[in-house]
Amino acid sequence: MKKQCTIIGITGGSGSGKTTVAKRITRKLNHKGVQILNHDAYYLDRSSMPPEDRETINYDHPDAFDRQLFHLHLKELAAGRAVDCPIYDYATHTRKKETMHIGPCRVLIIEGILILEDEEARQLMDVKLYVETDADIRLARRLNRDCQERGRSLESVMKQYLEVVRPMHMQFIEPSKKYADLIIPEGGFNDVAIDIIAGKITHLLQGE
C-alpha cells in the first residue's frame, strides 16, 4: 500500500496533555490538510449491556477497543480514502448513532493512551510521540475533566484511577514509551518540542 498521508501518533497517560499537543501542532503547521483522529472514538460499543455492567469494564485495557475497525480506518486514511469515524458517548459507554466524516488528508494526527502499545497501528506511523507529565498533574486534570465534562462523581473517578487507570498506565502505557521517536516533557507547554515536531512534519510533507 502506498501511503498518501503522513501519520503522527501522540500518546501518554490520561490527562498528560495529548490533545493540547495535537492542537498546537495543527495550528503550527497551518495546513488545511491536517486531521485529528481520537483513539477513544474506537471504544467497543456496550449498548447491549446493562448500564451497571458497563461501569465495571476496564476501559484502560487494550481489549476495550475495537481494534479491527480502528486498523481498517487507519489503513483507509493512509491510502487516501475517507472514513466515517464513530462518536463515543463517555457518559453511557455507547456509540452514538451519528458518525464523524474524515476525508482524505495530507497529515493524520492520532492521539490516545494506547496507540503505541498497538503494533499494527504503530507500523503505520511516521512520527511517534510520547507526552510525559507528572502523575499528580495528570490525576488533577482527569478529575476535572471527568467530573465536569463526563458527569462522573469524584468518588467514582478516584476509585477507577486507583484500581484501574494507574495499574494499566504502569502495565501498558509507560512501557510503550520505548517506541516513541520523541518524548515531550510538559506536554503542550513545551514550545521547543512543538517547533521541532512541526518542522519535522513540514519536512516530510515537502519530501512527498
Question: How far apart (Å, rounded) are the C-alpha atoms in residues 59 and 43?
Answer: 8
pLDDT digits (tens, 9 = 90+) for 162-201: 999 999 999 999 999 999 999 999 777 889 999 999 988 8
pLDDT digits (tens, 9 = 90+) for 118-177: 999 999 999 999 999 998 998 988 888 888 877 788 888 888 889 999 999 999 999 999
- 176 vs 207, more confident: 176
Flag whether the pTM goes above 0.85. yes
For the chain, list the domains and their CATH numbers. Answer: 6-206 (3.40.50.300)
Which pLDDT value is given to residue 208?
57
Per DSSP, the residues of the chain read ----SEEEEEEESTTSSHHHHHHHHHHHHT-TTEEEEEGGGGBPP-TTS-HHHHTTS-TTSGGGB-HHHHHHHHHHHHTT--EEEEEEETTTTEEEEEEEEE---SEEEEE-TTTTT-HHHHTT-SEEEEEE--HHHHHHHHHHHHHHTS---HHHHHHHIIIIIHHHIIIIIGGGGGG-SEEEETGGG-HHHHHHHHHHHHHHHHT-
Which pLDDT value is given to residue 207?
67
